[in-house]
Structure 1
């Protein structure tokens, strides 16, 4: 009997990436694109001088997190990016948790990335073009001190 697709297993198909939600502290924000959810362990190389193997040993070092870039459309009277960015003083900024959730078809979070102590490092306004036919999009770059991932 052929499978009509009405009762597909959750392990057969990967989740699409177009249905997601971003929370800044407790406020839900609408974004077109989120990128930069990367982390890596830096490599420490060490070799003792009397080691008979003529290559270094590689060990895990400090963890490094990429900046996260978020893009959204420009809306009238929506200045959340700019308000947060304008709070930056010399070594003083309000750091907030940011939660990015990949949602399933019912709107429930299936995979959640949480940024710790996030703050804005760069804002890029939209480009303007008199012959353009695109939506105005602005970009914010977020630095953070940690990334946790929860799946399921």
Structure 2
């Protein structure tokens, strides 16, 4: 029987349903894969020791993706179309954690994502740093496969 070791968090890729380009799967950080319930309090008559907290609906955080700026990207064109032309075309996004052999270990499938924010890091002549672009995506829900 072998001991279990948790997977490394640095070997992953992000696949957009709108792009098959190699540069569009590489991101420096991915955050926002979280879900929680909104709750509603219900006070029961005669019971003063506690208040019932009932689940109402799920709430998903925005998906935040960061990477070094890519000059030729279908994903950025998709984001800019939303901001320039108000053309919101939902896309599915898969965040795939891989094992040492490059095989999928766990996949988070983000459903109906649309761009919410796009940001470029500050440009500074006094620093030697790459330009980082940040994309925030709103989505309906995600599933774990």
| Match status 1:73 vs 2:68 | yes
TM-aligned CA deviation for residue 54 of structure 1: 4.6
From the superposition, tell whether residues 127 and 71 of structure 1 become closer, same or farther in structure 2 (CA, over 3 Å): same
Structure with the higher helix share, 1 or 2: 2
Partner of 2:42 in structure 1? 46
Counterpart-to-counterpart distance in 1, 2:38 and 2:121:
35
Number of equivalenced pairs: 139
Q: Secondary structure at the match of 2:4?
A: coil
Shift of 1:36: 1.0
Q: What's the offset of the Cα at 1:37?
A: 0.7
Check conservation: 1:17, 1:102, Cα contact below 8 A: yes
Q: Distance in 2 between matches of 1:24 and 1:106?
A: 22
Q: Secondary structure of the equivalent of 1:114? A: strand
Gaps (5+ residues) in structure 2?
A: none
Calculate the TM-score normalised by the size of structure 1. 0.82
User: What is residue 24 of structure 1 aligned with on the other side?
Assistant: 16
**How much is the aligned-residue C-alpha RMSD, in angstroms?**
1.9
2:101 aligned with 1:106: yes
Q: Which runs of 4+ in 1 moved over 6 A?
A: none
**How does the TM-score come out when normalised to structure 2?**
0.86
> Gapped runs of 5+ residues in structure 1?
1-7
